[in-house]
Amino acid sequence: MARLVDKIRRGDKVTIVNTSGKKITGRAVMKSSMKGCWVLNTGGRYGQPALACDINVVKVSKRRK
C-alpha cells in the first residue's frame, strides 16, 4: 500500500494532524534529514515550520502548474 508521504513533492499542499489533534495545512518545502519526512511552511510572518511524516499526514494536494 502506498504511503501518502511518498506522494509529496516540493510545492504540494500537505495537511497534517499535530500532537493536539488539530489539522494544519502547509506547503512542502524540502525533504527532512529524518527518513521519509518533509518540512512544511505553514505560513505566518516568518514561515512557521512543521514536519510531515508517515504517521501524521492526512491529505496531499498537488500544486498547480
Residue 33 maps to which CATH number?
2.30.30
The number of distinct structural domains making up the chain is 1
Domain that holds residue 36: 4-61
Residue at 53: amino acid letter? C
CB 5 within 8 A of CB 54: yes
Chain segment 51-60, per-residue pLDDT in tens:
999 999 999 9
Please give the mean pLDDT across all residues of the chain.
92
State the pLDDT confidence band at 63, using cuts at 50, 70 and 90. Answer: confident
The model's pTM is 0.88
Report the alpha-carbon distance of residue 32 to residue 59 in Å, rounded: 18
